[in-house]
C-alpha cells in the first residue's frame, strides 16, 4: 500500500485551473489557480505559480504569487521573491529576506489548531469541496479565534516624553542634532 503522505502531485507550468479542489496528497504547483484548494498534506507553490483564492493545508512552502486566504495547521514558509496579499492563519510562520508581504498573519492557539486538524483528518476527499460542510466550519473556527483575540485590547505602552536635544541658538544642524555627519554619535 502507498503511504499517501509520500505522494506528490505536480501541476506543471502552462496549466490554468479554476474551481474547488480537494486532495489527500501533497501538491507542487508550478501553474495558475483561481479558487479553493484543500490538501491534507503539504503544498508547494513554486516561483512561477500564481494562486488567487483560499488555500487550506497542513504545511505550505511559498515562492510564487499568492492573493487570498491561507489556512495552515502547520508551518508556512515564505521564500525569497514570494508575494502574498491577504490573510495568513497558521500555527508557525517563517519568511526569508526579500519577500513582498501585504498580509495579516494570525497565529491561532493550540486548541484551535487541534480542532481544525481533527476536521481535516475526517474530510472525505471523494465529496465535492464546494458542498462539503467542513469547509465553512474550518474557516469559521479560524476567524472566530482571530475575532476573540482582536476583542482583547492590549494596554497602550506608556511612552516616556522625548527630551529635546540641546542645540546652540535653538537651530538643529547636521553637526548638532546628536549625530556627526560621519554617522558617529556625539
pTM for the full predicted model: 0.75
User: What is the predicted pLDDT for the residue at 167?
Assistant: 54
Burial class (CB in 10 A: 0-12, 13-18, 19+), 17: middle
The answer to whether residues 70 and 87 touch, using CB atoms and an 8 Å cutoff, is: yes
48, 65 Cβ separation under 8 angstroms:
no
- Residue 170 has a pLDDT of 57
Instruction: State the pLDDT at residue 87.
Output: 93
Residue-wise pLDDT tens for the chain (186 aa)?
667 668 899 999 999 999 999 999 999 999 999 999 999 999 999 999 999 999 999 999 999 999 999 999 999 999 999 999 999 999 999 999 999 999 999 999 899 999 999 988 888 888 888 888 888 888 888 878 776 666 544 444 344 444 555 556 655 444 444 444 444 444
Written as one string, the DSSP assignment of the chain is ---GGG-EEEE-TT-EEEEEEEESSEEEE-SEEEEEEEESSEEEE-TT-EEEEEEEESEEEE-SEEEEEEEEEEEEEE-TT-EEEEEEEEEEEEE-SS-EEEEEEE---HHHHHHHHHHHHT--TTS-GGG-THHHHHHHHHHHHHHHHHHSPPPPPPPPPPPPPP-GGG---TTTSSB-TTS-B-
Amino acid at each position: 500500500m502507498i503511504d499517501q503522505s509520500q505522494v506528490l502531485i505536480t501541476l506543471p507550468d502552462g496549466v490554468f485551473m479554476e474551481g474547488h479542489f480537494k486532495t489527500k496528497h501533497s501538491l507542487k504547483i508550478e501553474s495558475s489557480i483561481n479558487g479553493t484548494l484543500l490538501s491534507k498534506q503539504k503544498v508547494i507553490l513554486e516561483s512561477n505559480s500564481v494562486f488567487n483564492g483560499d488555500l487550506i493545508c497542513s504545511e505550505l512552502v511559498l515562492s510564487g504569487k499568492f492573493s487570498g486566504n491561507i489556512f495552515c495547521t502547520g508551518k508556512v514558509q515564505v521564500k525569497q521573491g514570494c508575494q502574498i496579499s491577504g490573510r495568513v492563519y497558521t500555527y508557525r510562520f517563517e519568511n526569508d529576506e526579500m519577500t513582498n508581504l501585504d498580509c495579516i498573519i494570525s497565529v491561532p492557539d493550540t486548541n484551535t489548531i487541534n480542532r481544525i486538524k481533527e476536521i481535516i483528518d475526517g474530510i472525505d476527499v471523494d465529496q465535492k469541496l464546494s458542498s462539503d460542510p467542513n469547509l465553512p466550519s474550518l474557516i469559521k473556527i479560524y476567524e472566530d479565534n482571530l475575532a476573540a483575540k482582536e476583542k482583547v485590547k492590549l494596554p497602550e505602552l506608556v511612552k516616556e516624553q522625548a527630551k529635546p536635544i540641546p542645540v546652540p541658538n535653538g537651530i538643529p544642524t547636521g553637526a548638532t542634532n546628536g549625530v556627526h555627519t560621519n554617522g558617529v554619535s556625539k
